[in-house]
Structure 1
Amino acid sequence: MKSLIKIVLVLSLFMGFYSCQPDDGTDVIPARPYADVYAEDILKIEEFLDTHYVTIDGNFNTVFTKIPDGGSQIPVSDMQELEFKEVDLHDITYKVYYLKLREGTGENPTRVDSTLVAYKGNTIYKGTVNGNTVYDQSVFEENVNPIWFSLDGVIRGWSAIIPEFKKGSYNSNPDGTISYSDFGVGVVFIPSGLAYFNSIRPGIQAYSNLVFNFKLYNLRRRDHDRDGILSMHEYGPNFDEDAIDTDGDERPDYIDVDDDADGVLTKTERSFTYLDGTETRTGYYPFNGALVDNPSTPYDDTKGIPSCSNDFTTATRLRRHLDPTCRN
């Protein structure tokens, strides 16, 4: 029965996740080798950065313009704000350039969180005009009002770079609107292998390199499998690698309701009982305990999920929901 419950819950989670993916009617052309395409893409992106300058208005909106012959404008490639991150995928180490126009002041999201962003997406592609090489820029989508995106449901180039920025702060206005400040702002240049590659989408050709100007307003920590442990704690220490799968059942822990396959739900394994006056109640250990105990609660808030031997403090302890030999 416990195994059946686990299967039903996991299927429900997968059905819920995939039913939310957009059906955008994309077309796909025969795929070329990723390595061959990336070799072309990185040359195009770096040439674009070498030959264009950017103007930034007071709202951090950006416009890229080709430097004219003899122009004195600073190319994007020489800007102090330009950084890059290496992303390993398809047996390739991709270089993803990005402009950190403002880092932000709040917390960083992770690849399994949701983010509230406004953005403009451009494609850049190489062509010729009157025998001269040019890079045309085409806006394929723009959202000036912030919308929520789950970072595990977007293209890899986006989910790799957004966590390098921080959310801002906000205030509610008397008219019901919300004002955001101190949010992260950037521009990312994404090779096609970390975008839509050989897919054709509205406004996007196959093998298009993408440029996104974005503003990271807010974030929400997610709990995909609803076991009471945030997905950011269950994914593993390195979000640039595959998620941890403790029991090897091809369901990463953050979407697995029984992480160690011992027949006991993870949520149950993080539970404990305590006395509230004369009444016995059920509580749930957080992944990590609070720094300070709350004196108004009848239990110790500094205790996170313990090991099977009730070790609450060792940072490297094997928490009991990951230990198949452990029983409450």
Structure 2
Amino acid sequence: MKSLIKIVLVLSLFTGFYSCQNDDSSSATPDRPYGEVYLEDIEEIEDFLHTHYATIDSEYNVTFTQIPEGGSQQSVWDMPELVKDYEVELHDISYKVYYLNLREGSGENITRVDSSFVSYKGFSFAKTTVDAVDTYTQTVFDSKQNPIWLSLDEVIRGWAEVIPKFRTGTFNPIPNIDGTIDFNDNFGTGVMFLPSGLAYFSTGTLTIPSYSPLVFSFKLHNLRRRDHDRDGILSMHEYGPNFVDDAIDTDGDERPDYIDVDDDADGVLTKTERSFTYLDGTETKTGYYPFNGALVDDPSTPYDDTKGIPSCSNDFTTATRLRRHLDPTCRN
């Protein structure tokens, strides 16, 4: 099975080729309208939630089973303590996303520009009707029982929306003899139900039909903070509240700050603007202010660790200050 990240990369290449075909061939089938497909997807997802019950084992593995005719099992839809939903604005549509919050987790919050260490299983489902009897078939297209790293800004949009609603767990940092890591049982775990517009939409594979809503169960074990532009400021501080669509772009050059080495386009690199010099004994050295200063100064360092990136007026601590790397009138 291909991993989720490999599927994304392959589909990206295929989409580029397909777009070229659209330019040169009148026989290529154009994509269906997003709004039209979404109405079908959300109906299928809600129907699935109404007609299936969930079995959750002690390790938070989830199995969905169709409720038999006359069955008394509680449907997933009727589990308000677990079923959550919210809306995602994309393609001029308000997508409703349902997910099960089996456990939020007790570790760190993850953002849409971090890397996630996750295990997961993904499946599609199809309904057939014979003699007025509906039967659902679930097809698993990818499964990773051993956790792998996935960068949330490089996978399908639905993942980048749902995973940040959970927290990591804790783990023993000392590997076992075989190199594996023991994770405790307080990681975030859930299930997401994604309309195709937040997944692969018109791009199908041998195992994922075109225009197919998808279901992923997942466990968020760990995270890795990223610094995409290597300016020393974590991307989580630079991307803004809402993924790429509303990412912070201070200088308006269509490169969000988290991938822009000169955030305010003043000709001075962001990394340079967060630098300072200090004396270490008789030697002059270069240091770098963190985005936020430490709560307590470390007496072993020859500078004040509580200072974050300052404003042009040397305000180091006010939360709402305009840090100098975002102020084009300020020169380092």
Q: Report which stretch shifted further, 173-182 or 143-152.
A: 173-182
1:126-145 residue pairs with structure 2 within 5 A? 126-145=127-146
- Say if 1:135 and 1:174 are closer, same or farther in 2 by CA, change over 3 A: closer
How many Å separate the matches in 2 of 1:224 and 1:70? 54
How many Å separate the matches in 1 of 2:7 and 2:199? 19
1:29-44 residue pairs with structure 2 within 5 A? 30-44=30-44
Please give the per-residue CA displacement for 1:213-236, whole angstroms capped at 9, x wherever unaligned.
Answer: 101010000000000000000112
Amino acid at match of 1:23: V
Aligned partner of 2:3 in structure 1 is none
Deviation at 1:126, TM superposition (A): 2.7
Tell me the TM-score normalized by structure 2. Answer: 0.89
How many Å separate the matches in 2 of 1:225 and 1:67? 50
Please give the per-residue CA displacement for 1:117-141, whole angstroms capped at 9, x wherever unaligned.
Answer: 0000001223224442233210001
Q: Report which stretch shifted further, 123-132 or 64-73.
A: 123-132
Aligned partner of 2:69 in structure 1 is 69
- Say if 1:127 and 1:241 are closer, same or farther in 2 by CA, change over 3 A: same
Amino acid at match of 1:101: L
Deviation at 1:315, TM superposition (A): 1.1
* Corresponding position: 1:186 with 2:186: no
How many Å separate the matches in 2 of 1:211 and 1:20? 15
Question: What SS is found at the alignment partner of 2:153?
Answer: helix
How many Å separate the matches in 2 of 1:20 and 1:306? 43
How many Å separate the matches in 1 of 2:257 and 2:7? 21
Amino acid at match of 1:36: E
* Corresponding position: 1:315 with 2:319: yes
Q: Calculate percent identity across the aligned residue pairs.
A: 69
Aligned partner of 1:13 in structure 2 is none
Q: Report which stretch shifted further, 229-238 or 248-257.
A: 229-238
Aligned partner of 1:274 in structure 2 is 278
Whether the 8 Å CA contact 1:125–1:209 is kept in 2: the answer is: no
Tell me the TM-score normalized by structure 1. Answer: 0.91
* Corresponding position: 1:245 with 2:249: yes
Query: Higher relative contact order at CA 8 Å, sep ≥6: structure 1 or structure 2?
Result: 1
- Say if 1:245 and 1:299 are closer, same or farther in 2 by CA, change over 3 A: same
Whether the 8 Å CA contact 1:140–1:202 is kept in 2: the answer is: no
Whether the 8 Å CA contact 1:271–1:282 is kept in 2: the answer is: yes
Q: Report which stretch shifted further, 301-310 or 23-32.
A: 23-32
How many Å separate the matches in 2 of 1:185 and 1:30? 37
Question: What SS is found at the alignment partner of 2:168?
Answer: coil
- Say if 1:47 and 1:240 are closer, same or farther in 2 by CA, change over 3 A: farther
Amino acid at match of 2:182: S
Aligned partner of 1:233 in structure 2 is 237
How many Å separate the matches in 2 of 1:239 and 1:209? 21
* Corresponding position: 1:114 with 2:101: no
Whether the 8 Å CA contact 1:246–1:259 is kept in 2: the answer is: yes
Deviation at 1:20, TM superposition (A): 12
- Say if 1:121 and 1:292 are closer, same or farther in 2 by CA, change over 3 A: same
1:168-187 residue pairs with structure 2 within 5 A? 168-171=169-172, 172-175=174-177, 176-181=179-184, 182-187=186-191
Which ranges in structure 2 are unaligned for 5 or more consecutive residues?
1-5, 19-28
Whether the 8 Å CA contact 1:30–1:198 is kept in 2: the answer is: no
- Say if 1:257 and 1:173 are closer, same or farther in 2 by CA, change over 3 A: closer
Deviation at 1:78, TM superposition (A): 1.0
Amino acid at match of 2:258: Y
How many Å separate the matches in 2 of 1:83 and 1:277? 58
Whether the 8 Å CA contact 2:175–2:181 is kept in 1: the answer is: yes
Structure 1 outlier segments of 4+, above 6 Å:
none
Whether the 8 Å CA contact 1:26–1:201 is kept in 2: the answer is: no
How many Å separate the matches in 2 of 1:20 and 1:98? 22
Whether the 8 Å CA contact 1:87–1:240 is kept in 2: the answer is: no
Please give the per-residue CA displacement for 1:267-317, whole angstroms capped at 9, x wherever unaligned.
Answer: 000000011111111000000111111111111111100001101122111
Whether the 8 Å CA contact 1:49–1:75 is kept in 2: the answer is: yes
Aligned partner of 1:48 in structure 2 is 48
Deviation at 1:202, TM superposition (A): 3.1
Whether the 8 Å CA contact 2:183–2:221 is kept in 1: the answer is: yes
Amino acid at match of 1:45: I
Aligned partner of 1:58 in structure 2 is 58
How many Å separate the matches in 2 of 1:287 and 1:117? 28
1:70-109 residue pairs with structure 2 within 5 A? 70-79=70-79, 80-109=81-110
Aligned partner of 2:209 in structure 1 is 205
Question: What SS is found at the alignment partner of 1:153?
Answer: coil
Please give the per-residue CA displacement for 1:186-236, whole angstroms capped at 9, x wherever unaligned.
Answer: 000000010001101230000001000101010000000000000000112
Deviation at 1:85, TM superposition (A): 1.9
Deviation at 1:22, TM superposition (A): 2.6
